[in-house]
Amino acid sequence: MQNIFKMGDSLVISLPEEVVAQLSWQEGDEVSFSVDATGGRLIVKPTHSAITEIDQTFAKQIDEFVEKYGSALEALSK
């Protein structure tokens, strides 16, 4: 479990080292945030694609699919 703390005018959630390593993230990487209000989740995504050769239109379609059907896919995987 992580705590939320105040740093300057912002609230911060620290990420455990093992999570950062699994995602191959590094200090300074840019991420975007969105909120899944129905599921009560904060979604954090890197702003760049890890696979540079992938067609950007296809990547956007995959992102939209996962956002729309992610909860159903997660439920089906259990």
Q: Which domain holds residue 11?
A: 1-47
CA-wise closest residue to 32 among 58, 75, 1, 67: 67
**For residue 8, what is the domain's CATH number?**
2.10.260
Give the pLDDT band (50/70/90) at residue 52.
low
The pLDDT value recorded for residue 12 is 92
For 18, 19, 55, the CA distances from 2, given in Å and listed in that order, are 13, 12, 36
* pLDDT beyond 60 at 74: yes
Per residue in 6-36, pLDDT (tens digit) is 999 999 999 999 999 998 888 888 899 999 9
Task: Concatenate the DSSP letters of all residues of 16-66 into one string.
Answer: -HHHHHHHT--TT--EEEEEETTTTEEEEEESS-S-TTS-HHHHHHHHHHH
Same domain, 33 and 58: no
> If you average pLDDT over every residue of the chain, what do you get?
86
pLDDT over threshold 60, residue 49: no
